[in-house]
């Protein structure tokens, strides 16, 4: 019994230590070989990035990650340099962590509730931007259809399989979409990668980014950036540096 209790305590402590209570800009490791998943190993919810020299707090940006397969070694790394880039705007930046194995509709509803709480607890805010990548782009796009509050939201959905995904989540309604109808209080942009350049999509016969956006716009990203292929993950950095 004592042996079992000790093993349980060790397991509990190891799990607790992996959920970082802070999110500090200077703890983000931009070298892939040094990356320790500090960004992603935290509880679900919206986390404010500390250590930014904020000069304008009337608006801010919520970043939203994508899906990570089991055993993926660098979960969240594609967001490290973009968050550093966003910090140069000297505004608040948040990171939204959610369960990427949950249904996208559920995650969109969760993001909706968390965003409402953020707005209600920060009365000085007059607008927010939400940037979602890959599955996170699907989540923010579903959010864009649901948003009904009279509070201006700008959404950037990047390299997102909005038409649907081959990977079926257990217990979830399969996404098969041809269009998205964006709420009137949302300023929405879809950023599409070139199908043949996107490592997540190029082996698919049909580009899953191809949908009609009602009351929003769709922009095709360049094939290359700085003479390097602009693929699935680099698209986040491009948007954060160029929009």
pLDDT over 90 (residue 16): no
Distance CA 115, CA 53 (A): 22
114, two tokens: 């968390």
pLDDT above 80 for 61: yes
Residue 18: band (very low, low, confident or very high) from pLDDT cuts 50, 70, 90: low
pLDDT band at residue 228 under the 50/70/90 scheme: very high
- pLDDT digit string (tens) for 136-174? 999 999 999 999 999 999 999 999 999 998 776 778 988
Among residues of the chain, what percentage have pLDDT more than 70?
Answer: 92
pLDDT at 5 over 90: no
The three-state DSSP-derived secondary structure of the chain is CHHHHHHHHHHHHHHHHHCCCCCEHHHCCCCHHHCCCCCCCCCCEEEECECCCCCCCCEEEEEECCCCCCCCCCCCHHHHHHHHHHHCCCCCEEEEECCCCCCHHHHHHHHHHHHHHHHHCCCCCCEEEEEEECHHHHHHHHHHHHCCCCCCEEEEEECCCCCCCCCCCCCCCCCCCCEEECCCCEEEEEEECCHHHCCCCCCCCCCCCCCEEECCEEEECCCEECCEECCCCHHHHHHHHHC
Report the C-alpha gap between 73 and 16 in whole angstroms. Answer: 20
Q: Report residue 217's pLDDT band, with 50, 70 and 90 as the boundaries.
A: very high
Q: pLDDT tens digit string along 42-57?
A: 999 999 999 999 999 9
Q: Is the pLDDT of residue 231 over 60?
A: yes
pLDDT (0 to 100) of residue 141? 98
- Do 218 and 193 contact (CB within 8 A), yes or no? no
- Write down the pLDDT at residue 10: 43
| Mean predicted lDDT score pLDDT of the chain | 93
Answer whether residue 15 shows pLDDT above 50.
no
User: Which range is least confidently modeled, 13-22, 154-163, 176-185?
Assistant: 13-22
């Amino acid at each position: 019994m004592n042996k079992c209790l000790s093993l349980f305590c060790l397991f509990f402590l190891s799990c607790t230590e992996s959920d970082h209570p802070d999110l500090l800009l200077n703890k983000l490791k931009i070298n892939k070989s040094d990356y320790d998943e500090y960004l992603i190993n935290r509880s679900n919810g919206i986390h404010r990035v500390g250590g930014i020299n904020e000069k304008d707090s009337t608006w801010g940006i919520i970043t939203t990650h994508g899906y990570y397969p089991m055993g993926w070694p660098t979960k969240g790394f594609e967001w490290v340099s973009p968050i550093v880039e966003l910090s140069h705007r000297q505004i608040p930046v948040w990171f939204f962590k959610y369960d990427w194995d949950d249904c996208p509709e559920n995650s969109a509803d969760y993001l909706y509730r968390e965003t409402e709480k953020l707005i209600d607890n920060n009365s000085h805010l007059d607008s927010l931007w939400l940037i979602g990548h890959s599955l996170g782009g699907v989540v923010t796009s579903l959010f864009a259809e649901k948003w009904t509050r009279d509070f201006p939201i700008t959404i950037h959905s990047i390299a997102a399989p909005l038409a649907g995904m081959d990977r079926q989540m257990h217990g979830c309604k399969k996404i098969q979409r041809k269009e998205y109808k964006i709420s009137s209080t949302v300023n929405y942009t879809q950023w599409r990668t070139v199908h043949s350049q996107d490592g997540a999509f190029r082996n698919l016969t049909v580009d899953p980014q191809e949908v009609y956006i009602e009351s929003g716009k769709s922009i095709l990203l360049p094939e290359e950036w700085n003479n390097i292929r602009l693929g699935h993950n680099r698209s986040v950095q491009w948007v954060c540096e160029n929009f």
